[in-house]
Amino acid sequence: MARAFLGMGLLGTNFVKAMLDRGEKVQVWNRSPEKAAALEALGAAVSADVAAAVKSADYIHVTLKDDDSVNDVLAAAAPGFKAGAMIIDHTTTSATGAIQRTAEWKSRGFTYLHAPVFMGPANAREGSGFMLVSGNQEVIEKVQPLLDQMTGKVINFGAEEGKAAAMKLVGNCFLVAFTAGLSDTLALGKALNVSVQDVGDLFSLWNPAQMMPARLQRMSAGDYSKPSWELNMARKDTQLFINSVQEKNGTLAVIPAIAEEMDRWIAKGFGSSDWTVIAKDAVKK
């Protein structure tokens, strides 16, 4: 069984190193040749031509930037595809793009499986983290043993094409919002002379992540009439955050936008509702 890997960024490079550690034969390519060349000493077969890099490969893994780069690289590699080869794409892309590629490559006689990951370079090297799949279950069952070697857990979201891509984007959206919110939290702490260590100590004793299931259930239930924290009160506290940071000439990334959203819902008459009402439109069926 031969495998090819296209895209030698941090993730792709560490996937390949782990494959080589397992004694697998891997053919690699990267748009910047020096990144691929660095793996030659470890046993990878390096090619400067992407079509040559995939010749004889039964499985072609892809870790690139976006939909356009995946489409461009696969189009360039296609002349070298072995009959019946399977493309396994770990790139974070749009759900629409994943669906289109699945259909397009099937029409051309090849199998395309989108398998994005919640993994960093260290996860790829040690085979931990999470890999997401969805779509044709026979295809997933066939390739599952290979994917199991690459990650800590493969999460199968069922037969819906593009579902794995969608879930990956949802997860990344949360990570972006979480990080931006944490940045604002640290900015507030700085304004109030609370150190980063103090913030860490607080969260080690009081873990707000434990509230997430109940918070999500309340938001999705659509009943905001029995508040645990009234929107008016949450908005008052939000202004205290803003004022405290502004007094120290600091900046906030997302809190001012949240304040505007709160004001919008208060103006609509929801000031006495639970503050999670600001998600009402997002969860509306």
What pLDDT, on a 0 to 100 scale, did the predictor assign at position 148? 97
Residues annotated as catalytic are 168
For 140, the enclosing helix (H) or strand (E) is: helix 137-150
The C-alpha atoms of residue 95 and residue 257 are separated, in whole angstroms, by 27
Domain coordinates in residue numbering, the chain: 3-161, 195-279
**In whole angstroms, what is the distance from residue 205 CA to residue 174 CA?**
23
As a CATH number, domain 3-161 is 3.40.50.720
Instruction: Tell me the pLDDT of the chain (285 aa) as tens digits.
Output: 899 999 999 999 999 999 999 999 999 999 998 999 999 999 999 999 999 999 999 999 999 999 999 999 999 999 999 999 999 999 999 999 999 999 999 999 999 999 999 999 999 999 999 999 999 999 999 999 999 999 999 999 999 999 999 999 999 999 999 999 999 999 999 999 999 999 999 999 999 989 999 889 988 888 999 999 999 999 999 999 999 999 999 999 999 999 999 999 999 999 999 999 999 999 877
pLDDT, position 161: 97
Bridge partners of residue 6, in order along the sequence: 29, 62
Work out the number of other CB atoms within 10 angstroms of the CB of residue 115.
26
pLDDT score recorded for residue 240: 98
CATH code that applies to domain 195-279: 1.10.1040.10
pLDDT at 284: 78
Would you call 242 helix, strand, or coil by DSSP? helix
Q: What is the pLDDT of residue 1?
A: 80
Burial (CB < 10 A; 0-12, 13-18, 19+), residue 68, is exposed
The number of residues making up the chain comes to 285
